[in-house]
Chains A and B, each alone.
Chain A
C-alpha cells in the first residue's frame, strides 16, 4: 500500500499531523477539512479543538475588534473587525449603530455604545465570529433606573466564577452576559444566563440593585471589572 495513503487512513496519525497545523493560519485546517469527510470529522470531532489549544497554548492573533471612543460615535470605522491574518469573521454586519463591547473565549458581545447620560437602549447580541451565529438579547430593564450615568456590559463563560473552566473548549457552552449601570448613588447589575447557542430565551438569574456602587457583589470576575 502507498505509505502516504496508509497514514492518511489512520485517524490517530491524521490527527497527529493536523494538530501541528500552524495556529496563526486557520485556513490550513479549513482546507484539511475539505479533503474528505473523514478528515472533516477528525478536525471537527470532540476534543480536537482542546488538544489543538493545549498543543499551541497562547491562541494566535487573528485580528482585533475595535469601536469608536465613548461619546464620539464617529471616531472609528463602522466595521468592527480588523484582521491581522487570513481569517475573516462570518456575519460581521453587526446591525446599524452597533459595535463590539466585549469579547471572551470566542464570543463577542455587540450593542450600541454606552455613553454618559445617553439613552439606556443597549440592543445587545452575542456573536460567534467563526460560525457567524448571533443571538439577540432581550432589552435589559435599565430604563427603570433613571438618569443612569453610564452602563457597560461583559460576556463571560458561565463557569468562570468557580475557576472550573480552562476555556480551551468552552465557546459552545453556557455563557453569562452581565450588564451594569450606575448613577451617582445607585448601581444596577443584571445577569443573564444562556444555555448555549441556538437555545431559547435566556434565564435572567439576578437583578441586583445596590445603594453603593462599589459594594455590588456578583462574584470575583465582575467585582474586579467594576472596581
Chain B
C-alpha cells in the first residue's frame, strides 16, 4: 500500500513537472530527440494534443516509432515556425471543422517551407502529418503534391509516384478518346 502510494505521488509530481514545461520531447524511429513547443504541438496535432492531455508524454522523449528523424525534424520545424507566425483567422477556423472546411491557400511561409523539401522528404512529411493528425500540415503538403501533378500526363504522374499502370492499352485508348479535351496539351 505504502509503496503504491509513494509511486502515485511520484507520478503526480512528474506530471506536474511535465505540465510546467513549455516544450515536449519527441523521439523518432531512429532514436533522435526533438524539442517542440507544447502549445504549438497541441494546437497543430490532434494526436499530440491527446497525448499531452492524457499525460502520456515522456520527459525522456515520447516514442514516435512510425516517423523517421528527417520527417520528425520537419514536423518540429513546422510547429516552431507556426508558433512564431501569427495564426490567421482563416487557419483557426479551418482547424475547427477541417473535413468540410473550404480549402485555404497555403500562406507564403508555408509555401516556402514545403518548396525547400526534397521529393522524398515531402512525401515522408505527408505521412507524418497524417499519422500525427496535423490537418493544416497535411493541407499544405497535399497542396504541394497536387501542384506537382499540374499539367502532367498520366505517364508522368506515374513516374512521380512510382506507380505501375494496370490499365490495358485498349482501355486507355478508349478513355482518352472519350475525354479527348483533357489531353489536348499533352
Contacts and interface: CB of A to CB of B under 8 A. Distances in A.
Given A18-B146, A32-B149, A86-B184, A54 B102 contact: yes
Nearest to B164: A36
B150 A35 contact: no
Interface residues of B, number: 45
Interface in B136-158: 138-139, 142-143, 145-146, 149-150, 152-154, 157-158
Interface of A: 2-8, 10, 12-13, 16-22, 25-28, 30-39, 54-57, 86-88, 90
Given A28-B150, A34-B175, A17 B181 contact: no
A55 B123 contact: no
A62 to B, nearest CB: 10
User: Is chain A's interface secondary structure helix, strand, loop, or mixed overall?
Assistant: helix
Interface of B: 100-103, 119-124, 126-127, 130, 138-139, 142-143, 145-146, 149-150, 152-154, 157-158, 160-167, 172, 175-176, 178-185
Contact of A5 (B143, B152, B162, B167): B162
A30 B179 contact: yes
Contacts of A10: 127, 130
User: Is chain B's interface secondary structure helix, strand, loop, or mixed overall?
Assistant: helix
Contact of A34 (B124, B138, B154): B154
A37 B152 CA distance: 18
Contact of B182 (A6, A17, A26, A57): A26
Given A8-B161, A36-B163, A36-B164, A21 B146 contact: yes
Nearest to B100: A54
A18 B138 CA distance: 13
23 contacts: A2-B162, A3-B120, A3-B122, A3-B127, A4-B119, A5-B161, A5-B162, A7-B145, A8-B163, A10-B127, A17-B149, A19-B142, A22-B146, A27-B182, A28-B146, A28-B149, A31-B152, A32-B157, A33-B175, A36-B158, A36-B165, A38-B166, A90-B178
A36 B162 CA distance: 11
Given A8-B161, A30-B179, A31-B157, A36 B127 contact: no
A27 B175 CA distance: 13
A212 B126 CA distance: 64
A27 B180 CA distance: 10
B182 A30 contact: yes
A3 B124 contact: yes
